[in-house]
Structure 1
Amino acid sequence: MEMKMVVEKADQTAYEGDGGGYYVWSNSKVPLLSQSKLGTGKLLLHPLGFALPHYADSSKIGFVLQGTCTVGLVSPNSPEEKVLLIKKGDVIPLPAGVVSWWFNGGDTDVVIIFLGETTKALVPGQFTYFFVAGVLGILAGFQSDFVGKTFDLDQKQSEVLVNNQQGALLVKLENGTKFPEPSKHIKEKLYETIDGPSGDHIIIKGNAMLAPSYVTNGSVQISYVCKGGGWIKVVASEGKPALDSRVEEGDLFIVPQYLAIAEIADECGMEVFSVITSSNPIFGELAGNNSVWKAFSPVVLRSALNISEEFEEVFESKNTKSIRIVPPST
């Protein structure tokens, strides 16, 4: 199956309102999302914006691009609500089925990018959310009479429970609303709760380069350009270029399994957040003292590249240090 690599910005607005918005990349624009069973979305919360409690059909990782946000997490059948305060640069894992809510108690917008797997999702390439409250919530779907019987409420009480929240997805709360303080000793434990994808945050300074590498265990990599810009080069089998494109803030791209990638920042630098579909990805380096070039015996190196002994010594001298990040030329 041919895999067409593209670089795209979010092209669909899933929701917009006073509280904020949620934006997605469609499978039609980025076919590799459904082909590789990956999903992505971007959450915008205005001040006092509140994302109603919900769970998703996919495990994902959130990366805070802007602002500070209070997050509540409730695991299935747990009486404990874990509350976190996350800020720009923080990463938060979100297992499938865990209920979460999100509140912006600050004075500036909050922006969070979500990347993850959709292997068990209802729709490959797309996160599906199930809200427990609001006009699109589960309670509304069961209707007041059924809810009343469930919670032993009379008709009036049932209608209040089901119908009072007329918002959908994101709402704006009243000024002065106080949310719980962050739970103690919770943040460190979260990183043990997600089984599957892992995150990688790379900052490349101006005119520097992320040296060529590939993920060795067949995992797929989905990446979002958080800041700055540069150039992405991806090489497929038979030495064929799969992607050779400029990227900038807001762009998303996917690297299929085993393809080699290199990233070059422009003079302003580039910041990239990636999610890899493995809990323990191993990167095969293609330059430096951890690369295959350093491991090859001299005769193998000369025979493979058809080079002289003199040039082999020159090349060997260029692979004596770890160079995952290649500094700018002087």
Structure 2
Amino acid sequence: MLERGSIGASKLVLQKNGLALPRYSDSSKVAYVLQGSGTAGIVLPEAEKEKVIAIKKGDAIALPFGVVTWWFNNEDTELVVLFLGTTLKAHKAGEFTDFFLTGANGIFTAFSTEFAKALVASQTGSGIVKLKEGTTMPEPKKADRDGIALNCEEAPLDVDIIKGGRVVVLNTQNLPLVGEVGFGADLVRLDSSAMCSPGFSCDSAYQVTYIIRGSGRVQVVGVDGKRVMETTVEAGCLFIVPRFFVVSKIADKDGLEWFSIVTTPNPIFSHLAGRTSVWKALSPEVLQASFNVTPEVEKQFTSKRTADAIFFPPPN
């Protein structure tokens, strides 16, 4: 499904003093910090100076095409970063390919000039290296985060339903670089035993979801009303919802938290339950005829869940 949807996913894990060497990618991505804290260096195309930012759990960083990045962990806790993105222009559909500027597999290693050989000969590591304790690295600047990074755990909530769930949506308003990346993202926290309304992306987008914490059940329904997936998910699981397919999630008792991307910068969803449901917009006569039910049954159906928007708290 990753290949069919031209979507990529990967993780970066750094131990203390681990440095992910400077590289650029053949894909635009959003990075999400799953664990730990550290420092990231970002060089935007045609920029004269890198941006150095402090990163921590909950940070989302937009990485358009052509961006050069490096990542460093100077803490005892592992730094774990998730990358989700599109591979429409990648060398291999469904895979990210990184081009390293330095290291044993760096692009300069193939050049034959004496300058290039002298420059790269001393770095024998590939991809990730461990620096000596006390090695000086650039200091992060708070201003460098503007427009590039947003902490989803501290950002204003777009949806907040008591005993239901909360959502922070990344879009061009709160993270301008999302427009250059070409897709949106969100962080969703579903409370204990709550349900996320069945819904679909109505702008021909794929949904790619990574489970961060907790567990729950997921159902996906596709063409001709056929259920194409029913499974239990837990932390570390990743799944994809194809275009226009309907998905719903129910959290277990410990709740369910996920980070996802939608392959359009400002996604629009239609929901099939709750206050904003499509059913609420359809006339009673159409519903009665479509379901072949009496007005009384139709009224009972449309009166359910009128107060909730996207998340449904468990029954009392």
Which letter maps to 2:139? E
| Aligned 1:1-330 pairs, distance under 5 A | 32-145=1-114, 148=115, 158-190=116-148, 191-193=175-177, 194-330=180-316
Across the aligned residues of Structure 1 and Structure 2, the Cα RMSD in angstroms comes to: 1.2
Q: Secondary structure at the match of 1:312?
A: helix
Percent identity, aligned pairs only, is 43
Distance of 1:283 and 1:188 partners within structure 2: 28
Distance of 2:213 and 2:248 partners within structure 1: 17
Aligned residues: 288
Query: Where does residue 170 of structure 2 map in the other structure?
Result: none
Q: Secondary structure at the match of 1:293?
A: helix
Structure 1 residue ranges, 4+ long, deviating more than 6 angstroms after superposition: none
Q: Secondary structure at the match of 2:61?
A: strand
Distance of 1:77 and 1:163 partners within structure 2: 27
Distance of 2:255 and 2:136 partners within structure 1: 39
Alignment TM-score, normalising by the size of structure 2: 0.88
Unaligned runs of 5+ in 1: 1-31, 149-157
Which letter maps to 2:217? W
The answer to whether the 8 Å contact 2:273/2:279 transfers is yes
Unaligned runs of 5+ in 2: 149-174
Distance of 1:270 and 1:95 partners within structure 2: 29
Query: Where does residue 154 of structure 1 map in the other structure?
Result: none
| CA deviation profile, 1:12-52 (whole Å, cap 9, x unmatched) | xxxxxxxxxxxxxxxxxxxx111110000011100111000
Distance of 1:89 and 1:262 partners within structure 2: 24
Q: Secondary structure at the match of 1:185?
A: helix
| CA deviation profile, 1:204-257 (whole Å, cap 9, x unmatched) | 111111110000011011111111111110000111001001111111111100
Alignment TM-score, normalising by the size of structure 1: 0.85
The answer to whether the 8 Å contact 1:144/1:162 transfers is no
Distance of 2:120 and 2:135 partners within structure 1: 22
Q: Secondary structure at the match of 2:22?
A: strand
Distance of 1:57 and 1:202 partners within structure 2: 28
Once the two structures are TM-superposed, the CA of residue 297 in structure 1 deviates from its matched residue by 1.1
